[in-house]
Amino acid sequence: MHRGKGMKFVGDSRVPAERKPNIPKDYSEFPGKTEAFWPNFLLKEWMVGAVFLIGYLVLTIVHESPLEKKADPTDAGYIPLPDWYFLFLYQLLKYKYAAGDYVLIGTVIIPGLAFGALMLAPFLDTGLERRPSKRPIATGLMLLGLISVTYLTWESVVTHDWEKAKTQGKIVDVSFDQNDPGYQIYQKQSCVGCHGNTLTGGASGPSLIGTGLKPEEIMKIAKEGKPPGMPPNAFKGSDEELKQLAEFISKLEKK
Amino acid sequence: MLQKIYDWVDERLDITPLWRDVADHEVPEHVNPAHHFSAFVYCFGGLTFFITVIQILSGMFLTMYYVPDIVNAWESVYYLQNEVAFGVIVRGMHHWGASLVIVMMFLHTLRVFFQGAYKKPRELNWVVGVLIFFVMLGLGFTGYLLPWDMKALFATKVGIEIAMTIPVVGPIAKTFLAGGEIIGAQTLTRFFAIHVFFLPAALLGLMGAHFLMIRKQGISGPL
C-alpha cells in the first residue's frame, strides 16, 4: 500500500485517488479444493438455507404456536412449566439435595460450575491436542454434561402431568352479560372463589359453562352441596337471589 | 449503469477494499460439504445466524400488532393469531425459531467443542460465543412472558422465584426484572423492553465481534 509523500486524495478527503481494481483473489494458490466464499460457496450455503427454510415452514404450518387463556394470577392450581430448554435446570431443583435447605446447590453451585467451566473451557483445556480422543478429560466432562442435561430434561417431561396441562390453560370462548343480576349475585357469593371470575372453573371448582343442568338442579346443588368438592349451604342469600343465580348459570353455553 | 453507480460511489468512498474484505475469504476444502459430506457439521453456525435473522424480521412484524400491557397483550396476540392475515405464520416462525435457534446453537457449540476449535488462538471467540448463548437463553426467557397467557405468567413467576434464592444478586435481579414486588404490569413492560431492545443490542454487538474474529483468524484447520 502506498503511504506518505506523493499520495493523492479525492478532493480534500482522506479517500486515496488511486483506484484498486475489484478483482477476486486467485484461489488456485490455496491448498486442496479451496473455494472463494463469494459467490461460489455462498450459493451452496443459500441452497442449504432454502432446504432448511422449507422444513422450518412446514413445522410452523403443521404445529400452530400455542396460546393459552389470558393470564389469571388468582388461579393457584396452575402447574407451571418453563420452555423446554430450561427444563433441566427446573428439574434439578426437584431433588432433595438441590432443594429446600440445599437450594443453593441447585440454583448456584451446580449450574455455576457447569456454565463457568463451559465459558472458561479454552483456559482449562490448554493442551495442544485437538482430537476428542486425545483429551479424555474435556471430552468426558462434556459427555457427562450432555447425559445429565438429557436425563434431567427427560425426567422433567415424564413426570409432568400432560393431561392436566392440556386442559388447565385452555381458552374457553364464552360470552355472557356481566351486568346480568345473576352474575352480580355470583360474584358476591362464595361461588367466585372456586369457579373463577369467568365461571370457567379453577383449581378447586369445575367450569360452570354448559353444565346442561336445569335451574332447579342448580338450586339444589347450591344448597345441599355436591361431594367431594362442593360444600352444603355454600349459598347464603334469599331464595329470590338463588333463583336468579340458577337461571343465569343454566343459560350459560359453550359457543 | 450499475457499474457506473458503483464507480461513482467507489471514487468518493473507496468501497472496493471493504467489499473485497467481505467477499474474499477462502473456504477450505475440509469445511465444504460439497467435497466431504461430513463437513455439514460446519453449517450449524451459519444456520444459527440464518434463524437469528428470521427472528429479528418476524419480531419486527410482531411488534406491529403486539401491545405490551397487561390489559391488551393477550388480546393483541389472540388477534394476531386469529384475525391478522398470515399472523399465525409470522408468530409461528418466531415461536418455532426460538426453539430452533437454541438447537442449532447447541449443535454449533458441540461441534466447536469436540473439534477443539476453541484452543489458542481462538479462546476469545469461544468466550464471546458462550456469551451469545446466554443472551439467547435470556431472549427465550423474556419472550416467554410476552403473550401474557397462563403458562407465560406462571413460568415467569417460577423463574423469578428461583432467581430470588441466589444470595445478594437474587433480590436485585428480581427488582430489575419484575419492577416491583409482584409479577404484573411493570414486569411485562420491562420484559418487553429487555426482549426487544436490550438483549438484541447485546446480541448484535457480540455477533459482530464473533464474525470479526472468525474473519480475522480464519476457520480452524482439519483435525
Q: Check A30 against B28: CB less than 8 A apart.
A: yes
pLDDT tens for B86-119 read 999 999 999 999 999 999 999 999 999 999 999 9
Instruction: Residue A35: list chain B partners with CB under 8 A.
Output: 26-27, 29, 32
A67 touches chain B (CB under 8 A): yes
CA atoms of B195 and B201, how far apart (whole Å): 10
Q: Check B155 against A81: CB less than 8 A apart.
A: yes
Cell of B193: 423492553
Instruction: Residue A41: list chain B partners with CB under 8 A.
Output: 27, 32
Q: Check A82 against B144: CB less than 8 A apart.
A: yes
Q: What is the CATH number of the domain that holds B59?
A: 1.20.810.10
Nearest-5° Cα angle at A249, A244 to A250? 100
Q: Which residue of A has its CA nearest to B122?
A: A122
CB of B180 closer than 8 Å to CB of B186: yes
pTM: 0.85
pLDDT at residue A59 tops 90:
yes
Q: Which residue of B has its CA nearest to A42?
A: B23
**Phi/psi at B27 (nearest 5 deg)?**
-110, 105
Task: Name the DSSP class of A19.
Answer: P
- Where does residue A127 rank: exposed (0-12), middle (13-18), buried (19+ CB within 10 A)? exposed
Which of B11, B24, B95 lies nearest to residue A25, judging by beta carbons? B24
Q: Check B11 against A38: CB less than 8 A apart.
A: no
The neighbouring-strand residues paired with A36 are: B26
* Cis amide linkage into residue A215, ω under 30° from 0: no
CB of B92 closer than 8 Å to CB of A64: yes
Give residue B208's domain range.
37-217
Domain count, chain B: 1
Residue A20 vs residue A132, higher pLDDT? A132
**Residue whose entry in the numeric block shows the C-alpha cell 396441562:** A165
Q: Which residue of A has its CA nearest to B19?
A: A22
CA atoms of A47 and A129, how far apart (whole Å): 35
**Phi/psi at A134 (nearest 5 deg)?**
-90, -5
- Where does residue B105 rank: exposed (0-12), middle (13-18), buried (19+ CB within 10 A)? buried
Instruction: Residue B70: list chain A partners with CB under 8 A.
Output: 71
Q: Check B16 against A20: CB less than 8 A apart.
A: yes
pLDDT tens for B116-163 read 999 999 999 999 999 999 999 999 999 999 999 999 999 999 999 999
* Cis amide linkage into residue B121, ω under 30° from 0: yes
Q: Check B24 against A24: CB less than 8 A apart.
A: yes
Instruction: Residue B92: list chain A partners with CB under 8 A.
Output: 60-61, 63-65
- Cα A50 to Cα A44, A68, B43, B51, distances in angstroms: 10, 32, 13, 12
Residue of B81, B136, B151, B191 to mutate, testing the A interface (most A Cβ within 10 Å of its Cβ): B151
CB of B148 closer than 8 Å to CB of B73: yes
A7 touches chain B (CB under 8 A): no
pLDDT tens for B147-156 read 999 999 999 9
Nearest of A103, A104, A118 to residue A149 by alpha carbon: A118
Mean pLDDT of A214-237: 82
Question: What is the percent of chain A with per-residue pLDDT over 70, rounded to a whole number?
Answer: 96
Residue A255 vs residue A36, higher pLDDT? A36
Domain for residue B30, yes or no?
no
A135 touches chain B (CB under 8 A): yes
Q: Check B123 against A48: CB less than 8 A apart.
A: no
Rg (alpha carbons) of chain B, rounded to whole number? 21
Q: Could you give the ipTM of this predicted complex?
A: 0.93
Domain for residue B123, yes or no?
yes
Q: Check A122 against B91: CB less than 8 A apart.
A: no
Domain for residue B22, yes or no?
no
Half-sphere exposure for B68 (CA within 13 Å, toward CB): 19
Domain for residue B222, yes or no?
no
